[in-house]
Structure 1
Amino acid sequence: MHVAIIGGASTIGTTVAYTLSGLAPRLDVSLVDINDGAAWAHGTDIEHASYHFAHAPGADEGHDSETAGSVRSATPEEIAELDPDLLIFNAAAPQPDDATDPSAREAELERNRSIVEDVAESLRPLDPTPLLVVTNPIDRLVYDFYSLLGWPRRYFLGYSLSETARIADGIADLVDAHRTDVYCPTMGEHGEHMIPVFSRARVDGEPIDVTDAERAELMAYVRDIPFEIAEERGVDETSRWVTSAGVSRVVRTMAAAADDSSVDGTGVEADGGDWTFCLSTPLDGEYGLEDVALGVPVDLDADGVAAIHEWDLDDAEAAELERAAESVQADL
């Protein structure tokens, strides 16, 4: 699989490439950026780093010379020549000083919309190709790309797995468990109207009861922690670690689903239980919604969304999903 990261010289773009170089060494990665010098420099440095991945104890055969992929740079004008199997859109306008304020997300739409329009124009020569949007506001930009390109909706994805990791951390603290034993998918908007699906939450495979007060506490935590991190980290940085790990999980799931029938498109072995994750994608009647992109439970294959699951939600979750749709549609 050949993955092209648009905005590849950014902190998230380069960290995704580095993560894939270590965890999915068979993939070819192109860092596409208007700053071709920076993209080349990062790509070359990651290529050098792959030497150590290949020779570390426990390195698998994917790092050997016959199967190892590459990390290269390219300019936006070269996208059509790359003929990628997966596009990751991570280009964005510079962050303002008030980016640590939750209300600042509203301004991101206008700042990044013109970039989406330019990139969509450069993608027109391609056959329909899965496009994973990482730039905020994710749900709105997913729908913008869908509207501009006119490809089948299964090719459009929006990243929203950071909230899943953060709500797992909050639940783990609440019940004194390890975060990797917690499963609680998050639907809805990537932002204010995210929806941890507590009705499907599991700890070590077992359902848990979450009171209304605990729900409110967990929601406050998962909404606030990104901005607390950003305030301490500074606006010149991004949430590169959790985002890059989540994006890499999506990429590896798509690659594995294409190559190995024992993987079911959710990123786990076919008999590994219900660990379905949610990504933003355009809806056409699912959950009674249309003309909007929201995070919903999906199965993936090499071409993007293979299936959308319509879960039975409790009343609070269903109402919040309606509010998320209204919020996104108001901006669209």
Structure 2
Amino acid sequence: MKVVIIGGAGGIGSSAAFNLLSAQGTYEIVLVDTRPNMITSHTMDLENALGLGTTADTVRGGVPEDALDADVVVLSAAVPLRLNSSRSVFLADNARIVEECLRPVREAGADFGGVVLMLTNPVDPLLTWVHRQGWLPRERLIGYTLNDSLRLRTGVAFALGVPAKDVGAWMLGEHGEGQVPLYSRITVGGEPVVLTEAQRAAAEEYVDTWYTKHVALDSGRTSTWTTGLGTARLIEALNTGSGTVVPASVVLDGEYGVHGASLTVPVELRPEGVRRIVAWDLPPEELAGMSRAAANVEAAASELTAHCATRLS
């Protein structure tokens, strides 16, 4: 499987490449970025890691046109992280980057047969906006949002005093303010668990404040390690088509009562993209959360469309 990582010189892009070295399957990894010295530095380093018996065949630097025959195009390019209270502040600036980075595959039209895995934020309105351009079907547009579920699992683990790896927890909806925690599906060691009000409040406090606390550190870095490993796991799910159910943002067409907006839902993946969206019966309050999240994404995507129309007029 050929994986082209656009933004490969950055922390998340290079972390994804590193973690992909030990993922199940065989990969040709191509790093693309506007900083050639950083790409050379990463590839020189990663080439030596291949000698440890990793699953990757090759790691090299490349150019945007390498995406044309890629099986997966990972888009992690973005404006630098700065102090903020919401990912939505990056919408217009990152839309310009997304537009430019995807230009080669968009212009290739039907000749491009790969999957776009978007990491650039705010991922849901950006993915919705790209889909509305009409050049790629929704099953081949996937947004990375696994971190939300991982943070919920961590928050629940802290509240219960158990290892996070034993917790099963899912965060659907919008990657951001419109996230929908599925407290109806919490498990520990595979067994259903109902949180007390205090435990739920503790888990919510962890999840709801994680982003603002992290950005307030002004470290200049984002969730490099988690996103890198999570991206590798999603690519592994695409490559193997194992049927593992994972959370990802995809454009919905009636699923969970949502039409035309991209939200996180449980999906099964295959090399061609989304095999199916898994339909879970959610209680009314969680379904209502999905509707509110869809309204948020719709508003942002519409704002972006109007902004781009003004800019081009």
TM-score scaled by length of structure 1? 0.85
**Alignment-derived partner of residue 121 in structure 1:** 103
Deviation at 1:24, TM superposition (A): 4.4
Where 1:23 maps in the other structure, the secondary structure is: coil
Deviation at 1:246, TM superposition (A): 0.9
Post-superposition Cα deviations, 1:30-78, rounded to whole Å, max 9, x if no partner, equal 1011222321221121111222x32xxxxxxxx4xxx741111112244
Equivalences, count = 298
1:71 counterpart = 2:59: yes
**Alignment-derived partner of residue 245 in structure 1:** 229
Post-superposition Cα deviations, 1:209-233, rounded to whole Å, max 9, x if no partner, equal 124453343222112123323333x
Of the two structures, which has the highest relative contact order with CA contacts closer than 8 Å and spacing of 6 or more?
2
Select 1:324's aligned residue among 271, 290, 293: 293
1:26/1:69 contact within 8 Å kept = yes
Structure 1: distance between partners of 2:284 and 2:130: 32
**Alignment-derived partner of residue 88 in structure 1:** 74
Structure 2: distance between partners of 1:216 and 1:189: 20
Select 2:220's aligned residue among 236, 255, 258: 236
Structure 1: distance between partners of 2:186 and 2:259: 27
Where 1:313 maps in the other structure, the secondary structure is: coil
Deviation at 1:288, TM superposition (A): 1.7
Where 1:22 maps in the other structure, the secondary structure is: coil
Structure 2: distance between partners of 1:39 and 1:87: 17
**Alignment-derived partner of residue 180 in structure 2:** 195
2:180/2:289 contact within 8 Å kept = yes
Where 1:310 maps in the other structure, the secondary structure is: coil
1:116/1:144 contact within 8 Å kept = no
Aligned AA (2:50): S
**Alignment-derived partner of residue 272 in structure 1:** none
1:117/1:148 contact within 8 Å kept = no
Select 1:255's aligned residue among 239, 250, 254: 239
Structure 2: distance between partners of 1:208 and 1:37: 50
Post-superposition Cα deviations, 1:68-124, rounded to whole Å, max 9, x if no partner, equal 4111111224432xx11111110111223x2xx323x22210110111221232112
Structure 2: distance between partners of 1:5 and 1:316: 38
Structure 2: distance between partners of 1:223 and 1:131: 28
1:36/1:75 contact within 8 Å kept = no
Post-superposition Cα deviations, 1:159-208, rounded to whole Å, max 9, x if no partner, equal 11111111111111222221111111110001111112111111101101
Structure 2: distance between partners of 1:315 and 1:212: 19
Deviation at 1:149, TM superposition (A): 4.7
Where 1:224 maps in the other structure, the secondary structure is: helix
**Alignment-derived partner of residue 48 in structure 2:** 48
1:143/1:282 contact within 8 Å kept = yes
Distance 1:300 1:23, change over 3 A: closer
Deviation at 1:278, TM superposition (A): 1.4
Distance 1:3 1:77, change over 3 A: closer
1:138/1:190 contact within 8 Å kept = yes
**Alignment-derived partner of residue 293 in structure 1:** 262
Where 2:81 maps in the other structure, the secondary structure is: coil
1:142 counterpart = 2:140: no
Structure 1: distance between partners of 2:212 and 2:25: 33
Structure 1 segment 296-307 matched on structure 2, within 5 A:
296-307=265-276
1:185/1:277 contact within 8 Å kept = no
1:3/1:84 contact within 8 Å kept = yes
22-31 or 156-165: bigger deviation: 22-31
Deviation at 1:158, TM superposition (A): 0.5
1:21 counterpart = 2:27: no
TM-score scaled by length of structure 2? 0.90
**Alignment-derived partner of residue 8 in structure 2:** 8
1:184/1:200 contact within 8 Å kept = yes
**Alignment-derived partner of residue 35 in structure 1:** 35
Structure 1 segment 303-314 matched on structure 2, within 5 A:
303-314=272-283
Structure 1 segment 160-171 matched on structure 2, within 5 A:
160-171=145-156
2:43/2:59 contact within 8 Å kept = yes
Identical positions, percent: 35
Structure 2: distance between partners of 1:237 and 1:31: 19
1:3/1:28 contact within 8 Å kept = yes
